[in-house]
Amino acid sequence: MDVRVFDDSASLGRFAAEHVLEAISARPDAVIGLATGSSPLSIYNAWAELARERELNLSGVRCFALDEYAGIDPEHQESYRTVITNTVVGPVGLTPELVHVPATVASAAAASAYEEAIAAAGGVDLQILGIGRNGHLGFNEPGSPFDSRTRRVSLTPETISDNARFFGAPENVPGEAITQGLGTIMDARKLIIVAIGEAKAKAVAAAIAGPVTEQVPASIVQRHPDVVYVLDRAAASLLP
Ligand code: F6R
């Protein structure tokens, strides 16, 4: 496991974006896994900036989002489809048809279709991840099985309250989601996990240095062969 600590989110974003571009230079149709939320934005900004600076053609890159709210209108401004379109696909210059987001119907059939689509693409080369204050990855809340696959899940009150900032109030946050499972995430060939801010320090320390337990979903990545954590000083502050 490689743990990097940065003074500011711009240099963190550049470092992580170089990993993304390395995967794409190895294979122009690389499969990149996308997280949403606040943490990965500096990576997406840097990715877009470097692509512009270097005049890269990224139209062959394929992407799979980690998760999506169940039952949300896909056109809603906070659906992960919309967020990914606005923060990654447009700025980076990806081909929208090659960017997959789980279906908001979140049925068992949609979940297995998503797993099949990832497998048919040859698996994920590099997965970008944020981490929840409760140690979640994707919407795999504490107690999620380590071998879980894409499925419908309920969000914990903590996650609903964290995401209320995007919806104005907790009661507007969808209570369920469709998420790649921890087993799905662990199948990605490389993981980049980003955490910014003091609120993440406890989860980061538990995930990196605590026991591997389903109560801290992110602790499973201790068993992944190729993980890079990119942290700011505040998020790294409780690491031993
Ligand atoms: C987003 C996702 C979540 C977030 C996590 C951190 O697709 O699956 O696991 O990565 O909740 O969110 P932020 O970055 O907003 O603190």
Closest CA to 110 of 149, 158, 73: 149
CA 143 to chain centre: 19
Average pLDDT on 147-167 reads 96
Average pLDDT on 73-83 reads 97
Can 19 be counted among the known catalytic residues? no
Tokens 């969000």, located at residue: 155
The pLDDT value recorded for residue 155 is: 96
Q: Dihedral sign, CA of 217, 176, 110, 31?
A: negative
Residue 100 has pLDDT above 90, yes or no: yes
Pocket lining: 38 vs ligand 1, CB cutoff 6 Å: yes
Which tens digit of pLDDT belongs to each residue from 24-61?
Answer: 999 999 999 999 999 999 999 999 999 999 999 999 99
C-alpha span between 99 and 106 (Å, rounded): 18
C-alpha span between 199 and 126 (Å, rounded): 26
Can you list the alpha helix ranges (DSSP code H) found in the chain? 9-26, 41-53, 80-84, 90-92, 108-120, 157-167, 182-186, 201-209
Residue ranges covered by each domain of the chain:
2-226
The pLDDT value recorded for residue 227 is: 98
155 C-alpha to center of ligand 1: Å? Answer: 12
Residue 106 has pLDDT above 90, yes or no: no
Pocket lining: 66 vs ligand 1, CB cutoff 6 Å: yes
Average pLDDT on 17-26 reads 97
Eight-state DSSP code of residue 63: E
Strands 2-6 and 191-195: unpaired
Q: Which atom of ligand 1 is nearest to the CA of 159?
A: 11
Cβ pair 57, 24 in contact under 8 A: no
Can 73 be counted among the known catalytic residues? no
Tell me how crowded residue 49 is: count the other CB atoms within 10 A of its CB.
16
Residue nearest to atom 1 of ligand 1 (CA): 36
121 C-alpha to center of ligand 1: Å? Answer: 24
Tokens of 186: 């662990």
Residue nearest to atom 10 of ligand 1 (CA): 130
Instruction: Give me the CATH topology for the region 2-226.
Output: Rossmann fold (3.40.50)
C-alpha span between 139 and 141 (Å, rounded): 6
Which tens digit of pLDDT belongs to each residue from 166-220?
Answer: 999 999 999 999 999 999 999 999 999 999 999 999 999 999 999 999 999 999 9
The pLDDT value recorded for residue 183 is: 98
38 C-alpha to center of ligand 1: Å? Answer: 7
